[in-house]
Amino acid sequence: MSVDFVTYQLNEIIEIIGGGTPKRDNPDFWNGDIPWLSVVDFNNDERYVTSTTEKITLQGLARSSTKLLDTGDIIISARGTVGCLAQLSKPMTFNQSCYGLRGKNNLIINDYLYYLLKIKVNELKQKTHGAVFDTITRETFSHINVNIPKSVSKQKKIAKFLSDLDDKIHINNQTNQTLESIAQAIFKSWFIDFEPVRAKIAAKQTGQDPERAAMCAIGGKSEAELEQMAKDDFAELQATAALFPDELVESELGEVPRGWGIGKLKEIIDFNPTRTLKKDSLAPYLDMKNVPTRGHLVDEVILRNMTSGTKFINGDTLLARITPCLENGKTAYVDFLLDNEVGWGSTEFIVLRPKEHLPTALGYFIARQENFRNLAIQSMTGTSGRQRANADTLANQSWLIYPADLMIIFDKYAGKYLTHMKNNGLQNGILKNIRDALLPKLLSGEVDVLLLQQEGA
């Protein structure tokens, strides 16, 4: 250990702050403007927690044991789901199953503390105890020895280097969320709300050009902006608008565009199609815990010998069928395999695959649609806590049959966004590997941050 480092017990260099929960039966304490954290808000790999599921009022803060943490403070889950970690992007309160942690002045800065805790969290988890739930107590922190740079300036340099990597990861994640939202919005506009059709109807009623009205709805542009478009882009948008009818008709599903068919979902989607993978063969394996609740990118795929499970190929969509994974939104689009490679995973997946004449991304966008998810939840059967969605029930649901030519146009947008998101995900994987490899070496002094900065200059 370098002489530039000094050894402490973890509790000697941090403030440990307890949380609490305002009384649930007092409405004056809840639904205010103050974020209130629980572990569900930060049980992911994101450095920063930016929002909370619940909020409390000033009365709830004043008349309970919760505390208000500052921007930059650390939150760690201490009971039940132990060891989840994040840094606050703004002041927040928190419940009693977590601790707020803050570096003591002149000893350690919060940004460095965050990374120090990342490499110490497994040791903290190993020292938990409890009759029913594993629990980190205040005493637990006194059993963890840490070595930190004496110089706060050096702590800042190390934290800045690691923060730059995390910031790039965060920007990619934000970009992916934006792309996902755009693609979902296009699907909803075209195939659920029928906005181009409604634009044509409204234009006809006011004596305007229906085609140009649909072009404005599809492109999100004004009439003046249409005139500024490049000739090829204008022609493409015009051709897309022409594929939408100018009338809605009544059906068993409510109003639908004239000429669009009504059938069963199985007419456009195959459920659990047959895939072949020999038993005991080494193949990519996807665990349910690595399936996202939002977005389509999985967290980790490992190689494992095939036993029994759901089999899938690129272009398939995986829908978690069991409670609470289905309700939580666990869904993935398979784009992580090699060509002609077959992967496998939990038996609790339903595989969706669009018919051959339709784009593969359609399965994913249907699976993310609120109406479909509600139908999947309604189809669940089984004992409490082990209920599962029924693929046959879903396959036989009445469904709008989307025009194939319009789906091909939609895929030009959605497919491009999915590919962009995949590339961002791959870049994040590289960045995380670099960060995780350098993290313990930088914090131990094995690697000098100044040398890394010189190499990157």
| pLDDT tens digits, one per residue of 59-75 | 999 999 999 999 999 99
Query: What angle (nearest 5°) sits at the alpha carbon of residue 58, between those of residues 54 and 63?
Result: 95
Residue 457 has pLDDT above 50, yes or no: no
- 157-182: burial string, b at 16+ Cβ within 10 Å, e else: bbbebbbebbeebbebbeebeebbee
Q: Residue 354 and residue 271: Cα distance in Å, rounded?
A: 9
Q: Same domain, yes or no, for 391 and 272?
A: yes
Q: Which residue has the tokens 């690691």?
A: 162
* Per-residue confidence (pLDDT) for residue 455, from 0 to 100: 65
Q: Which residues make Cβ contacts (< 8 Å) with residue 26, sequence separation at least 6?
A: 60
- 93 in a domain, yes or no? yes
Q: Same domain, yes or no, for 51 and 132?
A: yes
CA 77 to chain centre: 20
Q: Look at strands 302-305 and 74-77 and give their pairing.
A: unpaired
Q: Residue 313 and residue 340: Cα distance in Å, rounded?
A: 7
Q: 97, 111, 123: which is closest to 154 by C-alpha?
A: 111
- 455 in a domain, yes or no? no
Q: Which amino acid is at 203?
A: A
Which of the listed residues 90, 118, 150 is the one where a domain comes to its end?
150
Average pLDDT over the chain, rounded to an integer:
94
Q: Same domain, yes or no, for 277 and 380?
A: yes
Pull the structure tokens for residue 76.
């760690």
- 242 in a domain, yes or no? yes
Q: What is the number of structural domains in the chain?
A: 3
- 13 in a domain, yes or no? yes
Q: Same domain, yes or no, for 145 and 9?
A: yes
Mean pLDDT of 215-228: 94
CB 262 within 8 A of CB 251: yes
Residue 37 has pLDDT above 80, yes or no: yes
Q: Same domain, yes or no, for 354 and 246?
A: no
Pull the structure tokens for residue 128.
């938990």
Least confident of 6-15, 126-135, 174-183, 194-203: 126-135
Domain residue limits at 395: 267-403
User: Angle between the 152-191 and 449-456 helix axes, to the nearest 10 degrees?
Assistant: 50
Residue 456 has pLDDT above 80, yes or no: no
Q: Same domain, yes or no, for 132 and 13?
A: yes
pLDDT: which is higher, 44 or 155: 155
Which of the listed residues 403, 431, 450 is the one where a domain comes to its end?
403
pLDDT in tens, 333-369: 999 999 999 999 999 999 999 999 999 999 999 999 9
* Per-residue confidence (pLDDT) for residue 86, from 0 to 100: 97
Q: Same domain, yes or no, for 126 and 205?
A: no
218 falls in which pLDDT band (50, 70, 90)? Answer: very high
* CA-to-CA dists, residue 406 to 24, 354, 402, 455, angstroms: 50, 15, 7, 51
* Per-residue confidence (pLDDT) for residue 386, from 0 to 100: 86
Q: Same domain, yes or no, for 409 and 398?
A: no
Mean pLDDT of 408-433: 94
pLDDT in tens, 125-134: 988 876 567 8
CATH code, domain carrying 146 = 3.90.220.20
Mean pLDDT of 4-8: 94
- 437 in a domain, yes or no? no
The alpha carbon torsion through 134, 138, 144, 148 (nearest 10 deg) reads 130
- 15 in a domain, yes or no? yes
Q: Same domain, yes or no, for 181 and 90?
A: no
Q: Residue 359 and residue 354: Cα distance in Å, rounded?
A: 7
In percent, the amount of the chain with pLDDT more than 70 equals 98
- 452 in a domain, yes or no? no
Q: Same domain, yes or no, for 280 and 342?
A: yes
- 162 in a domain, yes or no? no
Q: Same domain, yes or no, for 27 and 37?
A: yes
* Per-residue confidence (pLDDT) for residue 80, from 0 to 100: 84
* Per-residue confidence (pLDDT) for residue 128, from 0 to 100: 83
pTM beyond 0.85: the answer is yes
Mean pLDDT of 173-194: 96
Residue 375 has pLDDT above 80, yes or no: yes
Mean pLDDT of 83-96: 97
Q: Same domain, yes or no, for 329 and 373?
A: yes
* CA-to-CA dists, residue 110 to 36, 116, 164, 165, angstroms: 20, 10, 16, 17
Specify which residues 331 forms β-bridges with: 319
